[in-house]
Every structure is written in C-alpha cells, then in structure tokens.
Structure 1
Amino acid sequence: MVSAQSYFDGALEVLAEHGFTELNVGRLCRGLGVTSGSFYHHFGGWPGFVEQLLDHWENRQVLLLRERNFGSGGPAADFAALMDLTLDLPHEAEAAIRAWAMNDETVRAAQKRVDSARLRTVGRAVKGIVGDTRLARTLTALGMAVLVGHQQLASAGEHSELATLLAEYARLVHSRAG
C-alpha cells in the first residue's frame, strides 16, 4: 500500500522534472508502481488530490520551522533558520507550482497563501534585526525576489548559487541592524 505522502513526494518530483502539465493520475501511479484504484482510494479524485497536495506543500514549511525551533532564539536565530529552510525548498517543484498557479485558481490561491506566509514570517525576523518597519518590508520583498528569481532560473536550467545569494542577502540585512 502506498501512502498519501508517497503520492505527494511523487507529485513534487513530477513537477520538478516535467512541470505541472505532466502531473496526472497515470504518471503518478506508474511512478509509484500502483494502480489508479489506489489513487482514488486515497483522494477520491483529482480535485481531492490537488487540495491535499497543496495543503501538504503549505504546511510543510510550518513543520520544518517547528523542527528548527523557529521563534525561540530571537530574530537573528529565526532569520538564520529561514535561510536554512530556503536552501532546502524543492525549488524546481515550486517554480512549477508557480507556473501552475497562472493556470488554476485553486493553485493560485494556495500560492498566494504561501507567499503571504513567507512575507509575514521573514518580515517579522527582518524587522527584529533592523528595527524599522519600512526598511524591513523593503528587505523582505528583496528576499522574496531573490527566492522567486532563483526558482525561475533554476527551473529553466540556470542553477545559480542560491547559498551565495542568500549569504549576500543575510549580510545586507545584518548590515542594517538597528
């Protein structure tokens, strides 16, 4: 028996390697070596799967931050945890989700929730470091642009060095400490 988690992992792999247009029941089931009956048993149908996949993707970040003790070590520790989390994101899959969001309202709503949550979370840590709300908003927007830009380039085969970009971003934020 294949778990729902296996389907989610398989879906993220398909998204990363082939994009959202290739994500379908047949491809997932073939990749997992199961019949479509297993898929329908877990999710009832495609809309149920998409809803659960997006919930899994959204909630993954919350769980990862909890594992990194986010919120317990002060703004600098939280910012460092966020930078580590950013390095570990499934970037090619996220780029495919962003492309999918341009074509599907359900996915677009999930993408907006994820973007809003990231802006709030990073913004809170950045504000804790720089002390100024306006500057924190600007620096947070810059960080989001670095992430999304990297993901778009990586999905197009341009694997820029995200760790280097994030290190420069972190230096910028810390240089503006209040």
Structure 2
Amino acid sequence: MAPVTRQAYFGAALDLLAEHGFSELTVGALCRALGVTSGSFYHHFGGWPGFVAQLLDHWENRQVLILKERNFGTGGPSADFAALMDLTLGLPHEAEAAIRAWARNDETVRAAQNRVDDARVRTVGKAVEGIVGDRALARTLTSLGMALLVGHQQLASAGQHGELTELLREYTRLVHSRAG
C-alpha cells in the first residue's frame, strides 16, 4: 500500500465535511475513508489539533494558490473579477457550509473562517471597486456577492442546489452595469 499524503487527508476531510458535517469528521472516519490506520494519521499530524490547524491552513491557502495559477492581478479589474467568479464556481460549497457550521462551535475554526471571509471581501472588493470606481458602492456590491455565496452554500448543504452559474452571471451583470 502506498503511503497516504497530507493532501489526501485534506481531500478526505473536505469530502467528509461535505457529506456528513463537522461532527462526523474524526480520526476514525478519516482513516476509514483512506484505508489507513490511526498510526498513519498521528505520524502525519501528531494529533487532532495539529490536523485541524493544517487542514484550515490548506483550506485558507487554496484560494490564493488557485488565483496565482490564473495570473490574478495581471489583467485588470474585469479579468480579475471574471477569475473570481470562475473560482467561486469551483469551491467545495457543501464542505464550506460545514466549515461555517463548525466555526460556530470552535474558536480556531471561527478565526480561520473570519480570515477567509476577510480575504474574500478584500479581493472581490478590490476588483469590484476597479470596475465601478466608487468605494462605497463597491463595498455594497461586495457584501451582496458574499451574501450570495454564503446563502448558496447554506442552501446547497441542505440539499437545495440552486443554479450558481446563473446567480453569478446576474451578479456579474449587476457589477458591470454600475461601471464608472
């Protein structure tokens, strides 16, 4: 059997979060999902707190890495906004809804959730402001975009999959209709 990587643990954790929620994310569930012993888990992470810290770090940095791969920041506000909308489509929405629920119950997870939300607001806000040319309007439109994302994730985690592509298309039209 080939050794299981940290990345495999993170992928399995996001899958478990999406399918069962944070209360079912355990060492045992991870090991069963990956077909490994708990010794493998402890070898990689030392314990549950180490795993949680690394999982949250992985989740936080995922967006940054994807944007870097897409040359974010080099094509102007409209190109950046389009890249952000594309990134949004590919987020693990059910897992993110579970992380948000977990954040209500765990201070460490809450801090990570806040950092992710703050980074998203800053990144989207900068692109939106570049398009609309007005900081106050950009804040409002960015808040609307965050509400759309979080609302979609909560509905999707409850089994109500709305058409995110169409929602983002309308959001994009709204932002561009306010171009300055």
TM-score by length of 2: 0.99
How big is the alpha-carbon RMSD for the aligned residues of Structure 1 and Structure 2?
0.2
1:164: how far off? 0.4
Determine helix, strand or coil for the equivalent of 2:4. coil
Structure 1 CA distance for aligned equivalents of residues 112 and 33 of structure 2: 25
Structure 1 CA distance for aligned equivalents of residues 119 and 104 of structure 2: 19
Q: Hey, what does 2:114 align to over in structure 1? A: 112
1:25: how far off? 0.2
4+ residue segments displaced more than 6 Å: none
Q: Hey, what does 1:81 align to over in structure 2? A: 83
Deviations 1:52-88 (A, max 9, x none): 0000000000000001110000000000000000000
| Structure 2 spans left out of the alignment, 5+ residues | none
Determine helix, strand or coil for the equivalent of 2:87. helix
- Aligned-partner residue type, residue 78 of structure 1: D
Structure 1 CA distance for aligned equivalents of residues 68 and 121 of structure 2: 17
- Aligned-partner residue type, residue 175 of structure 1: S
1:14: how far off? 0.1
Q: Kindly, what percent of the aligned residue pairs are identical?
A: 81
Determine helix, strand or coil for the equivalent of 2:91. coil
Structure 2 CA distance for aligned equivalents of residues 82 and 68 of structure 1: 10
Determine helix, strand or coil for the equivalent of 1:172. helix
- Aligned-partner residue type, residue 20 of structure 2: H
Q: Hey, what does 1:149 align to over in structure 2? A: 151
Pairing of 1:1-178 with structure 2 (within 5 A): 1-178=3-180
Structure 2 CA distance for aligned equivalents of residues 31 and 86 of structure 1: 27
TM-score by length of 1: 1.00
1:45: how far off? 0.1
| Structure 1 spans left out of the alignment, 5+ residues | none
Structure 2 CA distance for aligned equivalents of residues 18 and 31 of structure 1: 12
1:32: how far off? 0.3
Count of residues in correspondence between the two structures: 178
